[in-house]
Amino acid sequence: MVVAFIALLLASALLPSGADAAEYEIGYGPSASAKAGFRMSVLSEQISQDGVQPLVLRFSSIGNGFTRQRVLRVLLRPRMTYQTRLDYQYAVDVTVPEGITTFELPIEMPCYYRWESLAVEIRENGRSLGRYATRGTFASFAQDWGQEVTIGIVEPTDAPSKSGIWEKMPDVRAITTVIGEDMLPEAGERDRMSPREAKNFIDHHTTGKVRYRVQREASLRESWLAYSQLDIMIVPAPVLIRLERERPARFRALQQWVSSGGDLWTYDLPASGFDRGSWLATEPEKELVQFVKDPKILMQLADGNVNSTPVYQAYSGSFYRNDYVPDQSRNRGDFYKELLDEQNPVTEVIDQEQMNQKLSAFSYGLGRVALINDPDPFPGSYQLWLSLKRFNRSWESRNGVNISGGNESYWHWLIAAVGRPPVTAFVLLNCFFVLLMGPVLYFFLRRRGKLYWLYFLAPAMAFMVTSGLFLYAFVSDGFTNRAKLRQITWIDAKHPVGQSASDPQSPPTYPQLDQIRHTYYTIVDSNLGLKFPLNSLVLPVSNFELIPGYQYRSPDPNDSGDHLIEQLPDARRYYGSFLATRTQAEFLETDPTFGPLPVRFETDKGTPTVTNFGTQRFSSVALLDGKGGRWIAFDLDPDATATMHPASPSTIEDILMENLEPRGSDIPQAYRSFNYTEDRSELESKFATLNRNLSEKVFFAITEVEPERFALPDCNREGCARIIAGVLP
* Predicted local confidence at residue 695, as pLDDT: 82
How many domains is the chain built from? 4
Give residue 8's pLDDT: 35
Which residues are 136's β-sheet partners?
Answer: 118
- Non-local (6+) Cβ contacts of 222 within 8 A are 249, 250, 252, 253
CB proximity list for 426: less than 8 A, separation 6 or greater? 469
Output the pLDDT for position 469: 76
Q: What is the mean pLDDT of residues 406-422?
A: 80
- State the CB neighbour count (10 A cutoff) for residue 688: 15
Decide if 264 is inside a domain: yes
Report CA-CA distances (Å) from 30 to 34, 43, 53, 126. Answer: 9, 15, 22, 14
Does residue 242 lie within any of the structural domains? yes
Does the pLDDT of residue 374 top 80, yes or no? yes
Residue 87 CB contacts under 8 Å (≥ 6 apart), including other chains: 77, 79, 555, 559, 561, 562, 563
Degrees, nearest 5: CA angle 371-377-379: 135
Residue 533 lies in a domain: no
Q: How many CB atoms lie within 10 A of CB 94?
A: 17
What is residue 678's predicted lDDT score, i.e. its pLDDT? Answer: 57
Residue 274 falls inside a structural domain: yes
Same domain as 136, residue 181: no
The mean-pLDDT minimum among 201-210, 356-365, 373-382, 491-500 falls in 491-500
CA distance 105 to 72: 12
What is the distance between the alpha carbons of residues 71 and 165, in angstroms, rounded to a whole number?
47
Distance CA 134, CA 126 (A): 18
Give the residue-averaged pLDDT of 532-538: 97
Asked if residue 56 lies in contact with residue 104, where contact means CB atoms within 8 angstroms, the answer is yes
- Which CATH number does the domain housing residue 224 bear? 3.40.50
Going through 46-178 in order, the beta strands assigned E by DSSP cover 52-61, 70-79, 88-96, 102-110, 117-124, 127-128, 134-137, 149-155
Helix (H, G, I), strand (E, B) or coil at 445: helix
Q: Are residues 608 and 692 in the same domain?
A: yes
- 313 pLDDT exceeds 80? yes
Q: Tell me: do 181 and 265 sit in the same domain.
A: yes
- Say whether pLDDT at 117 is over 70: yes
| Contact assessment for residue 659 and residue 721, using Cβ atoms and an 8 Å cutoff | yes
- Mean local confidence (pLDDT), 341-350: 94
| CATH (domain of 38) | 2.60.40
Are residue 11 and residue 104 in the same domain, yes or no?
A: yes
pLDDT digit string (tens) for 694-713?
Answer: 788 999 999 999 999 999 98
Residue type at position 553? R
**Residues 644 and 659 sit within 8 Å (Cβ to Cβ):** no
Among the listed residues 613, 631, 632, 630, the one whose alpha carbon sits nearest the alpha carbon of residue 692: 630
One domain for residues 585 and 722: yes
Question: What are the pLDDT digits (tens) for 464-506?
Answer: 888 887 777 777 767 788 999 999 999 999 999 865 455 556 6
- State whether 218 and 364 are in the same domain: yes
Q: Are residues 96 and 194 in the same domain?
A: no
According to DSSP H, which parts of 413-563 are helical?
Answer: 423-435, 441-447, 454-476
On average, the pLDDT of the chain sits at: 88
Q: Do residues 509 and 458 both lie within one domain?
A: no
Which pLDDT belongs to residue 139? Answer: 73
CA distance 411 to 494: 36
State residue 437's pLDDT score: 77
**Is residue 140 very low, low, confident or very high in pLDDT (cuts 50, 70, 90)?**
confident
What percent of the chain is modeled with pLDDT above 90? 62
Interhelix angle for 237-246 vs 248-259, to 10°? 120
Mean pLDDT of 368-377: 96
Q: Which amino acid is at 633?
A: A
Are the C-beta atoms of 550 and 416 separated by less than 8 Å?
Answer: no
Contact 530, 579 (CB under 8 A): yes
Burial 419-439 (b: 16+ CB within 10 A, else e): eeeeeeeeeeeeeebeeebee
Last residue of a domain, one of 142, 166, 182: 142
DSSP track, 114-150: --SEEEEEEEETTEESSSS-EEEE--GGGS----SEE
Whether 561 is covered by a domain: the verdict is: no
Can you spell out the DSSP letters for 180-214?
S--PPPPTT--SPPPHHHHHHHHHH--SSSEEEEE
Residue 191 pairs with which residues in a beta bridge?
none
11: confidence class by pLDDT, cuts 50, 70, 90: very low
pLDDT at 227: 96
159 and 93 belong to one structural domain: no
For residue 276, what are the β-bridge partners?
Answer: none
Q: Lowest-confidence range among 15-24, 179-188, 397-406, 516-525?
A: 15-24
Residue 213 and residue 236 in one domain: yes
Decide if pLDDT at 106 tops 90: yes
Amino acid letter for position 7: A
Q: What is the pLDDT of residue 420?
A: 63
Q: Which of 126, 142, 158 is the last residue of a domain?
A: 142
CA angle, 129 as apex, 128 and 133 as ends, to 5°?
75
- What percentage of the chain reaches a pLDDT higher than 70? 91
Which domain does 459 fall in, by range?
423-476
Residue 703's pLDDT is what?
Answer: 97
Q: Note whether 182 and 208 are within 8 A (CB).
A: yes
Find out whether 120 and 137 touch, Cβ atoms under 8 Å.
no
Is residue 548 a part of any domain in this protein?
Answer: no
Determine, yes or no, domain membership for 539. Answer: no
Rounded average pLDDT over 607-613: 95
137 against 336, higher pLDDT? 336
Residue 421: which pLDDT band, with cuts at 50, 70 and 90? Answer: low
> Do residues 161 and 66 both lie within one domain?
no
User: Quick check: bond before 30 cis, omega within 30?
Assistant: yes
Tell me the torsion sign for CA atoms 587, 588, 594, 596.
positive
φ/ψ of 147, rounded to 5, equals: -70, 150
Distance, in Å, from the CA atom of 265 to the CA atom of 377, rounded to the nearest integer, reads 11
DSSP for 568-591 reads -SSEEEEEEGGG-BTS-EEEEEEE
Question: Residue 525 has what pLDDT?
Answer: 66
Inform me whether the pLDDT recorded for 335 exceeds 80: yes
Tell whether the model's pLDDT for residue 160 goes beyond 80. Answer: no
Residue at a domain's end among 114, 142, 170: 142
In a domain, 77, yes or no: yes
Contacts of residue 93, defined as CB under 8 A and 6 or more positions apart, other chains included, come to: 71, 72, 73, 74, 567
Mean pLDDT on 321-334 = 91
Same domain, 678 and 604: yes
If we measure between CA atoms, which residue out of 564, 589, 573, 561 comes closest to residue 528? 573
Instruction: Select, from the ranges 133-137, 165-169, 176-180, 397-401, the one with the highest average predicted confidence (pLDDT).
Output: 176-180
243-288 pLDDT per residue, tens: 999 999 999 999 999 999 999 999 999 999 999 889 999 999 988 9
Task: Report the alpha-carbon distance of residue 543 to residue 601 in Å, rounded.
Answer: 42
Reported as type and span, the H/E element at residue 651 is helix 649-660
